[in-house]
Chain A
């Protein structure tokens, strides 16, 4: 083997061979190594990673040094492998913040234009050595760095998160989870939503994720037991990753627990790994009844409400409706989230027909009392403005079952729960509800009419005796009920998640289920069929009649299962009770059916641990989401008045930059949080730009504690702020070739000044007055408003110099261009000092004033001028000037009267209030489209654009928006009315401390 020489002279520099020659030596050695590895891996289809170079620490350092010494001539074509390994090593050490900056820092002489060569080297590596190929959206977006990062296998900054995910996922490990690396990867991927955006990108490639996880969980044990060694990852590489991972206590503990669970789930032994494949076999991809690989979403997507009856006093029952928690849906659908968190629900038939805002997301099982029984097929819960996915769920699953009778079984806790069969059991008690009177039941049969405090239904209590007479059988038959003489089943020994008392059971993955089976017959044999698969017969021996026998089910996979139990009594010809199965006549005896659903265990992340109620949306917010107020939050603990909060900012290396405790009231909603967090944001503003992570803790003592970590967004183009906001650097992770960079001063927010992209990549100084800095490349873009820190001595200084904005020409093209510029300012990130938000507010205000003034006409501009300094006077002037023509004069008065009513409702209601107010005065066919657009343009042009996008679904939106602006130019009274409506609404909200529920963009 051609070993590269590592002989150094006394001065530490190579003396015997040149660095280039040494690279050739490395090339030969690595080629030999990877060729052998590829040969082994190809057989089982496991890909090879560049990090699996197998070099010792000393050799690795030598290789890195040799590459660096040749760096100023760039990656040479004849020695690709040292460069591939070098780039993978940088990928392994990569912190997720700046790959190329890290690369350049470590590689003196490196030039930007060589990035593509690195990519092509990796592509060749994948072809030649059966190398891993990055996949997923992230890999497409970051088409170059995806390679070295994927070949870095598990970058160090993701190791902790992977260990945590393995631990979280281990609570629901099963044998199926380990049927393939892909299956394991999908299992983990389905649980990665609460992790950082960068980790979610990493988890997009389920096969890679599964391969790494499999190696971490099982490979070292296989190797220790004499396995072939390095079956999934090279032994040295795995040891290196595990050693790094074990450096941190939490990660070490998580990995240890996950390994323990993996071994239990697989009954792992020496040859275990050889049976696990990389990808799922075709036959495994759609297993019958086995939805374990689909993740929990599809399974959880069909929650249903349940009726419950509760005895207020003896023989007087109350009807209650219990809804499922829809937090899962809120987490999946931002549109649904907005509605579920901010809107009241409307309940059919309820005493209080309103489900309070956000209860459906925050309560484990929100329950309401019904005063009227809803008609069959009535939708039980509705939300104004619900998006289609929410409406589809509510329409399909939140309905009263058809029919005119509903049967409820009275449980041990005294509550009666609806059951879907019409089969009663001896010795049990029931309530039958129907829409007509029952009349007087015959005495002595255990039947009694009871009062139900719900209009539209009547109730009959049925206490079924142990011995059922023929008379009772006849009476019940008239009510379409039968008394089963079949076997009785219940969960025995260990509680299950849900048991409705009559054959519907919900269990949790990985936990044993034992059924008690009772009958008044002597049983000789049990035949059990699970999902059409017959189980071995169970001879019951000489069990006494009536004495229960017990059945342990096999560990069932995630999803629904049908279980049939047939009990042989040894008495030939005994009639089967279950009509469907009895007709088959296979076994004389008794039969029963059980519907069983296996779900995943809930985790603390679901916000349901202890008595602390906690919800945050999005479930994994970025640092920017938190900082710029784009999160919904709820935290509450019963019985206490305050919850201790803590906010910690950490830098790239994990160092603490800021630490502040805050006291939050209980309950604390989004608005209260925003108020309290504003103080923190101000105090931390000088640290924010250096922060990579924001950690929150909510501590209610013994009642519970929750922690949330928000990391910076990871995007291909990004501005990083340096020197406390005095300088910004463009981070280009994609190596964009068509970069366009510009700067727009706060003082002149329409004047765009071009900047040399290479200057931006090296860092540019931010002007004192602050600026919007923009970078664009194709469809990618990054913009940020930065204001350097400065002493502020007055309110005027806070908002900055008055922005110079020239009114555009009064045509739709010019107005649209101004709207786009305004939207750019609105959507830009905030950085530098806390002044950035105030300065941006000033600029956006000035731009909107110019925009509205141009459409509304000359006289309106006076009111806009007043708005900055004297809002009440401006509002009064606007009220007077909404109308120009005499027949328009009533508009302002009508709007003023209706503002309050629009505030508590939905967005659709606010739109309707405005439309209704102007309809009598504006004769325009498309008013229903123009009015909501005007309302948004008058307060947030970016929202106006979003509305147009929604309507046009992204095609020809410019043309469509121009048409809307043309309509406004034709009927300027609409924009004047809209602007007045917005300004007056803001004043009311400010006076009353209300929320912008109906117009969230207007705040």
Chain B
């Protein structure tokens, strides 16, 4: 008979046996190194681990390919995807984005082999740890689903949404143990780069200067722009057709293969007069075009007097503050929040974080000082 019991990985090895969906979920969650009693495969922790594992086989690959592999693994197991697997696209894509921001996955430009078309490609970061105070943040993984964490430290790993960390114990000793198994240390300041010190005026001015140097005439196929006049609380709704628009816009444009490119364009009655693709600067290899574009949009909105917004909510539990975000932010801000808090399921927002109340002042400094966000009062 098909068993609902949580199977034991080893005793199950003698012969083939049937499993229920519950049994598969439990076995998979356990094989991912997580607690099968409290998590299912669609929980953020398990989904993140599933994506990391898929990446250990498939990378380098595109985000779409990675999503396809995870979708296949969840087929027949998902509550959400029971009727249509398309319902799973958004949570998987958001988790891939979270893992990329965090540093588990690295998104890099790679020129396609023979046709010269630039594509963005995902890599699984090598096993890496970052020491922040007395906490070790773990990034990346090894090929082919291997378990790189030393066996005696596995129980000490805390999984919070997409992040993994070891706190408590002897941090220095733990770091040495990781190092012995091939983990590399990434310096704190490289993982958590300081935010740009530019004002919105400076950021927009330098982008405009780069744009002015790149005259373009004619039609740009598949162009959509972020409309600064649209409400900042519904990100997807801000993307608009360029028809009859005039001004400078953060934009995306289709390319024959791979994901759309991020661009900064100047339009005159819907016609493109200038165009430059992100990245405009080579600040860091980790800076993705989207990070730079989102940062610029934050500055554009701030200058237009229409700052992007966040919404603060009290817990439960008490002593924590929940924050909703309505637009994407650069990776360095999300990493900072991964350290200070943890990502939680969002409701009526693009993504959300939970922070201990005692660190919120620090979070707010980034929100308002570095990202020029304004607080939206809860309804």
* With A367-B113, A702-B103: A604-B72 Cβ-Cβ less than 8 Å: no
Tell me whether A369 and B114 are in contact in the complex, defined as CB-CB below 8 angstroms, given that A514-B27, A516-B75 are known contacts.
yes
- With contacts A492-B24, A550-B23 known, is A526 near B72, CB below 8 A? no
Chain B, 95-129, contact with A by CB distance < 8 Å: what is the 0/1 string?
A: 00000000100101110011100000101111010
Instruction: Given A369-B114, A495-B54, A512-B12, check contact A550 B21 (CB 8 Å).
Output: yes
Q: Which of A914-928 contact B (CB under 8 A)?
A: none
Instruction: Kindly state whether residue B209 has any CB partner on chain A within 8 Å.
Output: no
Find chain B residues with CB under 8 A from A496 CB: 57
Cα-based distance from A528 to B181 in the complex (angstroms): 39
Of the listed stretches A537-545, A570-578, A627-635, A933-941, chain B binds A537-545
Minimum C-beta distance from A308 to chain B (A): 11
A367 CA / B62 CA spacing, docked (Å): 14
Contacts of A369 in B (CB 8 A): 114-115
- Residue A97 CB within 8 A of the other chain: no
Q: Are A495 and B50 in contact (CB under 8 A)?
A: yes
Which of chain A's residues have a CB closer than 8 A to the CB of B23? 550, 552
Tell whether, in the assembled complex, residue B2 and residue A538 are in contact, meaning their CB atoms are under 8 Å apart.
yes
**Cβ 8 A contact of A602, one of B21, B71, B144, B181:** B144
A412 within 8 A of B: yes
Alpha-carbon separation in the docked complex, A257 to B72 (Å) = 32
Q: A350-B114, A549-B2, A552-B17 are in contact. Are A610 and B76 (CB under 8 A)?
A: no
B16 contacts partner chain A, Cβ-Cβ < 8 Å:
yes
Q: Do A493 and B41 contact each other (CB < 8 Å), given the known contacts A540-B18, A609-B126? A: yes
> Of B28, B106, B143, which is within 8 A of A514 by CB?
B28
Q: Per-residue 0/1 for B124-157: is the Cβ within 8 Å of any A Cβ (1 yes, 0 no)?
A: 1110100000000001101111100011100000
| CA gap between A612 and B128 in the complex, in Å | 13
Using Cβ atoms and an 8 Å threshold, which residues of chain A touch B75? Answer: 490, 492, 516, 548
Asked if A535 and B77 sit within 8 Å, CB to CB, the answer is no
Q: Does B351 contact A (CB under 8 A)?
A: no
Inter-chain CA distance A249–B257, complex, in Å, is 48
Measured CB to CB, the closest approach of chain A to B192, in angstroms, equals 12
Complex Cα gap A415–B257 (Å): 12
- Tell me whether B17 and A538 are in contact (CB under 8 A): yes
Residues of A within 8 A of B236 (CB): none
Interface size, B (range): 35 or more
- Indicate whether B376 reaches chain A with its CB closer than 8 angstroms: no
Asked if A253 meets B177 with Cβ closer than 8 Å, knowing A352-B114, A494-B31, A516-B75, the reply is yes
Please classify the interface of chain B as helix (H, G, I), strand (E, B), loop, or mixed, using the class held by over half of its residues.
mixed
Q: Tell me if B313 is interfacial: C-beta within 8 Å of chain A.
A: no
Q: Which of A532-562 contact B (CB under 8 A)?
A: 535-536, 538-541, 543, 547-555
Whether B16 pairs with A551 at a CB distance below 8 angstroms is yes
Contacting pair B143 A608 (CB below 8 A): yes
Q: Does B256 contact A (CB under 8 A)?
A: yes
The reply to whether A610 and B53 contact each other, CB–CB distance below 8 Å, is no
Given known contacts A249-B180, A253-B177, A412-B68, A494 and B257 CB-to-CB distance under 8 angstroms: no
Contact pattern, A 497-530, Cβ under 8 Å of B = 1, otherwise 0: 1110000000010011010101000000010101
Chain A CB within 8 A of B13 CB: yes
Q: A702-B286, A705-B126 are in contact. Are A493 and B177 (CB under 8 A)?
A: no
The answer to whether the Cβ of A264 comes within 8 Å of any Cβ in the partner chain is yes
Contact of B190 among A490, A702, A705 (CB under 8 A): A702
Are A638 and B110 CB-contacts (below 8 A) given A493-B25, A511-B31, A514-B24? yes
Judge whether B16 and A553 touch: CB under 8 Å. yes
On chain B, the residues within 8 Å of A767 by CB distance are: none
Q: Which residues of B lie under 8 Å from residue A466 when comparing CB positions?
A: none
B7 within 8 A of A: yes
Minimal beta-carbon separation of A569 from chain B (angstroms) = 16
Q: Residue A413 at the B interface, CB < 8 A?
A: yes
B14 within 8 A of A: yes
* In the assembled complex, A301 has its CB within 8 A of some CB on chain B: no
Query: What residues on B are CB-neighbors of A701 within 8 Å?
Result: 186, 190, 285
Q: Which of A106-114, A358-366, A954-962, A990-998 contacts B (4 or more CB under 8 A)?
A: A358-366
Docked Cα-Cα span, A549 to B2, in Å, equals 9
A723 to chain B: which residues have CB within 8 Å? Answer: none
Q: Is the CB of B186 within 8 A of A702?
A: yes
A264 to B10, Cβ gap below 8 A? yes
In the assembled complex, the Cα of A352 lies from the Cα of B184 at a distance in Å of 39
A242-270 toward B: CB 8 Å interface, digit per residue (1/0)? 00000001101110110010001001000
CB of B76, distance to nearest CB on chain A (Å)? 4
A495-B126 in contact given A312-B257, A535-B16, A554-B14 (Cβ < 8 Å): no
- Cβ contact within 8 Å between B73 and A492: yes
Q: How far is the CB of A530 from chain B (nearest CB, A)?
A: 7
Per-residue CB contact flags for chain A residues 400-418 toward chain B (1 = under 8 Å, else 0) read 0000000000011111000
Q: Determine whether the beta carbon of B73 is less than 8 Å from that of A491.
A: yes
Quick one: closest A residue to B154, CB to CB?
Answer: A260
Q: Which of A257, A412, A495, A604 contacts B151 (CB 8 A)?
A: A257
22 contacts between A and B (CB under 8 A): A253-B181, A411-B68, A413-B65, A491-B73, A494-B50, A494-B145, A497-B144, A499-B72, A508-B145, A511-B144, A514-B27, A536-B17, A548-B75, A551-B19, A552-B17, A552-B24, A553-B16, A555-B13, A604-B126, A604-B142, A703-B108, A703-B126
